[in-house]
Amino acid sequence: MKFTYITNGVCSRSIEIEIENDVLESVKYVGGCNGNLQGISALVKGLTVDEVIEKLQNIRCGFKSTSCPAQLAEALKQYKASL
C-alpha cells in the first residue's frame, strides 16, 4: 500500500510511504533536511510498522513537540487505525 502523509510542525512537507505485509518498503520525505531524512528512510526500510512506531514516536526536534521521525510514527499510527 502506498500513501502520502502531510506532516505537521516540521520542516518536511509530507512523507510518501510504501508498506507491504506490515513492513516498510520505502519512505520518502518531501522537504526538510535532505541528508538526515534519507538516513532515516534507509534505516527504517525493512522494519515492521510497530518497530518504527516504537523507535521514533517520542523524538523531538529542538523545542518543537515533534520531529520528522516522530511524524513518520504518527503517519504509521494513522495507517494502523485505518486497517
Q: What is the pTM of this model?
A: 0.96
Q: Where are the domains of the chain?
A: 2-82
pLDDT tens across 41-58, in order? 999 999 999 999 999 999
Share of the chain above pLDDT 90, in %: 100
CA distances 68 to 2, 23, 38, 50, 83, Å, are 19, 19, 11, 17, 23
Residue 65: the pLDDT is 95
Assigned C-alpha cell, 16:
510518501
Residue 52's pLDDT is what?
Answer: 98
CATH 3.30.390 corresponds to the domain 2-82? yes
